Amino acid sequence: MSVTEMPSSGTATRLQPSTSDGPLVEFAELVRVLQDLPSLAEVLEHAVAGAARLVGPAKHVTVSVIDHRAQRTTVATSAVAREIDEAQFARGDGPGVCAMEQGTAVRSDNGRAANRWPQLGSVLKEAGVDNVLCLPLSATDGTFGSLSLFGAPGAAFGTPDVAGAEAWAAIVALSLLPHRRASQWQEALDSRDVIGQAKGILMERFRISADAAFAMLVEASQTRNRKLRDIAATITETGQDLTAVPRRRS
């Protein structure tokens, strides 16, 4: 895969495993977990979490897709990352947009993204983002989305980071194929919006991270034997606490 790259004087940062077994074992375990996930929501959540773990400089991560010829963010590790994506899509230009339209990885280090896409300059500056790496999510019928990683000043994406992120993006794209081919693709994407709203409510209410909020939703779904989307919809529509969500009658 070719890379559209802007010159950088940053030092390459190698993949940082979270265990002593090494990055390849870490990668293999993340792939194994990804292949075992049954729902689109869980695949998307694991996609951004895995990218954040595998690629050291990544501070924020998003997965975006082309939906009815429009681009939309389906999952983000932070509100900041979602704002960057939404600013790109509203203007029709930016690294994530280029990755989707050109089908190539786009990297910009040391604040050069603000020069290349000046309309994003204030958004990136406010978000504390200097380094950007966006990779296409592609299948045989073309590119259908992007995996975007945003790094803070001093955290440039080196060649090993690009290689690791490209490999992860390819695996994520393959994992999304069964969901794209299913007739429930649009319903699943809409469900992501509801799940994202429910996560936001739980994060604010309990002062917890996005991962912790999603884990609470998954646990509620499993213990109550109800779909994840139904649990999320109940929370967003009624404001109920998870403990107040009624269990399904057997």
Q: Provide the residue ranges of all domains of the chain, joining segments of one domain with +.
A: 3-181, 188-244
Gap between the Cα atoms of 49 and 167, Å rounded: 15
Question: Could you tell me the fold of the domain covering 3-181?
Answer: Beta-Lactamase (3.30.450)
Encode pLDDT of 69-80 as tens digits: 678 888 899 888
Which residues, 6 or more positions from 66, have their beta carbon under 8 angstroms from its beta carbon?
100, 143, 144, 145
What residue type is assigned to position 36 of the chain? D
Residue 30 has pLDDT above 80, yes or no: yes
Please tell me the pTM assigned to this model: 0.67
Greater model confidence, 189 or 3: 189
**Per-residue model confidence (pLDDT) at position 3:** 46
- Which fold is adopted by the domain 188-244? Arc Repressor Mutant, subunit A (1.10.10)
Report d(CA 245, CA 44) in Å as an integer: 24
Instruction: Provide the CB-side half-sphere exposure for 58 (13 A, CA).
Output: 31
In angstroms, rounded to a whole number, what is the distance separating the alpha carbons of residues 99 and 138?
Answer: 10
